[in-house]
Structure 1
């Protein structure tokens, strides 16, 4: 049976990972960003269009009249690059959930057993935690690129059924709560690595200290 200290560290790791999964789940249901653009045509004065987007739906607010937008059907109409980048964001987040779930299972398994030298030991925690953190950071980068450097927001306004032909100017984008929660998720994923490393390092140091008396005994005595 594992020691009490090991059990506490691995249970803590499972708990932190569970919290991170909750954070990620809420993040995926929240709004991620907002793009504001000036609208102008030859008939009216300038107005504003505000496109608020999440992972699966968004809201287009033009002339103070909000309209609901389904993200993936809308992205299919726009074209390849925004669709590919957005699908990549969602896919990477799903992988984050998978690795976090694996992290929880490995942590619970280690809290009641000692598969120390296998991939089900600390190596599994390090791998799952690192992949979760790295993929979530990659998601942050891809999403910002998609919002700021593609024509996703502009084409959404132009292609919306109730929109008239307008010229869109001075796009300004900002990230929202769903986006920033991914940063918290990455920090929590790294925290699980820190928790297990603290135990792993302490256990390694303890084993080395137990070996010292034997190493310090003169060879003449050890021969007998």
Structure 2
């Protein structure tokens, strides 16, 4: 049975995990994963635009996992356009990679929810060993950390390696060529990294509650067994 300090720590960890669920769900529904600007290279070359004149040929783009918005600038004013990845941009994006990002976001929500439930169970119930006790808390939070890392890495690969912003800007564009001018990750992307930090903090909270890391327990057990064998 957990003492009062352990219950407080577990309850606090459960609140943090529930916060992660809300953050990931909110991030998935927004278009604030990447924001940047795109240069109408064709238009700028036609008029030999210099630095002060480039502003007339620089539009912007922002998008998330499901939808986004782009504004094209080719010297005649902006042309805003809202788009959805499904089904509008299936021809332009690396579909398998994009679906993998969405899939691991869903897995992250699932295991963050499981971590929430198990933290609360350990805080108010009578947990026993195996997956209901500290071992389960370590496992679910470790999986959540891993999923959040995969989301960030896969999405970064999609944006940087596959030049997702340029693909979006040039989708079904015949007369003009657009190049990425500036690009940076927006707040929804950084919410995923914050989720990783929270789950890593939860692992430290479990250790703070007085429970050894699983690999440490296994190592100590193995050493104890070896010493007993030497005695006989």
TM-score range, shorter chain: 0.7 to 0.9
1:34 matched to which residue of 2? 35
Give the whole-Å Cα distance in 2 for the aligned partners of 1:40 and 1:113.
63
Matched length: 198
The alignment status of 1:147 with 2:159, answered yes or no, reads: yes
Shift of 1:171: 4.4
2:195 matched to which residue of 1? 185
Give the whole-Å Cα distance in 2 for the aligned partners of 1:13 and 1:121.
14
The alignment status of 1:68 with 2:78, answered yes or no, reads: no
Shift of 1:73: 1.7
Q: 1:154 to 1:170 in 2, by over 3 A?
A: closer
TM norm structure 2: 0.77
Give the whole-Å Cα distance in 2 for the aligned partners of 1:70 and 1:171.
22
SS of match in other structure, 1:76? coil
Give the whole-Å Cα distance in 1 for the aligned partners of 2:42 and 2:7.
66
Deviations 1:132-190 (A, max 9, x none): 11211121111111111114322322324xx4421233543211111111111111111
Q: Unaligned 5+ residue runs, structure 1?
A: 203-224
Moved more, 38-47 or 6-15: 38-47
TM norm structure 1: 0.79
Shift of 1:48: 2.5
> What is the Cα-based RMSD across aligned positions, in Å?
2.2
1:212 matched to which residue of 2? none
Shift of 1:114: 2.9
Looking at CA atoms only, which structure, 1 or 2, has the larger radius of gyration?
1
Q: Unaligned 5+ residue runs, structure 2?
A: 50-56, 213-232
The alignment status of 1:114 with 2:114, answered yes or no, reads: no
1:87 matched to which residue of 2? 99
1:101 matched to which residue of 2? 113
Give the whole-Å Cα distance in 2 for the aligned partners of 1:97 and 1:188.
13
Shift of 1:15: 1.0
